[in-house]
Structure 1
């Protein structure tokens, strides 16, 4: 049965994160409430140090909040259990980072297969690579691929386990605008064709135009939320 479009996939409630360095406290998050709805594409926009990556890492189970809670489809994540977080990340979350983290000695297909070997219901690596436009580059090594192609391999690796959530931290940050458009096209295609709930961090305000919803960050808080009446295609963006 399909979920309603308005159903909430992921919730964060009263999330705080305090880093302590000696006697100094850095408050990265200051009581953030956030909802990610099933199948939507959300852009987290704001300057460096505003709390975007900290929030995404907590929502993805890579980090624990100092206080607050995270609920996935209504069930609270056990932040004290590394086993529970491992299962959550393995079964439900795909990550894409600014840097590709591909294994140089493996082909594109083999890099993706590393994830499918431990997933519950994976798609074939070739299918995942075809979805991101790399059907003819599957047997190339990372050194034989451009930066944009390597990032699309990383996206294919993230979505090959059919995650419920795709969390992207500055996926175009190391790319030029032309290459970035291809990467955003791949992310948008995954969001629309698989219905994957997607959150994407950027400091580039133009990229926010592809989202259903934009969360603006400042000083560890969400300071504004905006709904986009029209989602632009990446090719329409003026970088």
Structure 2
């Protein structure tokens, strides 16, 4: 059965991201690709937002701009009161370091380091990090912290990647196909970890996926087509990750 959102403190309505007529155009010689076509939206603190749509519809481009990995061609994008569209490379680097955690489809762990040491790489350069063992405990891997990536399953490696992303206490967690390389049972464990972080830390979480079933855990779902948000829905009753099937 669907379950209500029971996160401690309830929904905050503080704006975290505000986009106004956001566009992105890639040019290669005379070839022009319009990846984003005038996106306007607002995302509030603590939300879980799922981005659905076919490859090439603009999902990853948007996530990269929101994460400070790329810059918009025109329009405005604010993180709180910070206008990301006006920042230079140095400003974007500072923004990423202080506010954003990333989780990708491929785990990008250092194979010669243990799970604990992979997470510690982030905590050593963060302003107010949690302990690596604390971050690993949040994703259910406290008993595996001394294992190397080759000794961990794919789902465990992805949860180490999540622990690494959250160890600096980011306000925003951006996830690009975090279950794309996993079977359904393992993918559900990863979604559980992401939702657990959202519930315990209040981290605003965006998840790109091709898997339509995952939309049921979100507060809102953005459907992408041809560089636009073609539809937006709000889930009044969110499902728990354990209830998902795909």
The answer, yes or no, to whether TM exceeds 0.5 is yes
Out of 90, 102, 119, the position equivalent to 2:97 is 90
Is 2:184–2:245's contact at 8 Å kept on the other side of the alignment? no
Q: Which residue of 2 aligns with 1:153?
A: 160
Q: TM-score, normalised by structure 1?
A: 0.97
Is 2:11–2:46's contact at 8 Å kept on the other side of the alignment? no
**2 CA distance for matches of 1:150 and 1:134?**
10
- Once the two structures are superposed, the pairs formed by residues 112-131 of structure 1 within 5 Å of their partners are 112-131=119-138
Q: Does 1:37 align with 2:44?
A: yes
- Match of 2:144, SS state, is coil
**2 CA distance for matches of 1:116 and 1:177?**
31
Out of 119, 136, 149, the position equivalent to 1:142 is 149
Out of 20, 24, 30, the position equivalent to 1:23 is 30
Out of 5, 22, 38, the position equivalent to 2:12 is 5
Q: Which residue of 2 aligns with 1:204?
A: 211
Q: 1:16 to 1:174 in 2, by over 3 A?
A: same
Taking only aligned residues, the RMSD between alpha carbons, in angstroms, comes to 1.3
Q: Which residue of 1 aligns with 2:238?
A: 231
CA shift for structure 1 position 68: 1.5
Q: Does 1:169 align with 2:180?
A: no
**2 CA distance for matches of 1:181 and 1:4?**
24
CA shift for structure 1 position 77: 2.0
**2 CA distance for matches of 1:123 and 1:228?**
32
Q: Which residue of 2 aligns with 1:179?
A: 186
Is 2:24–2:37's contact at 8 Å kept on the other side of the alignment? yes
Is 2:22–2:36's contact at 8 Å kept on the other side of the alignment? yes
CA shift for structure 1 position 22: 2.1
- Between the two proteins, the alignment pairs up a number of residues equal to 238
CA shift for structure 1 position 4: 7.0
**2 CA distance for matches of 1:148 and 1:220?**
31
What are structure 1's unaligned runs of at least 5 residues?
Answer: none
What are structure 2's unaligned runs of at least 5 residues?
Answer: 1-8
Runs of 4 or more above 3 Å deviation: none
Is 1:78–1:84's contact at 8 Å kept on the other side of the alignment? no
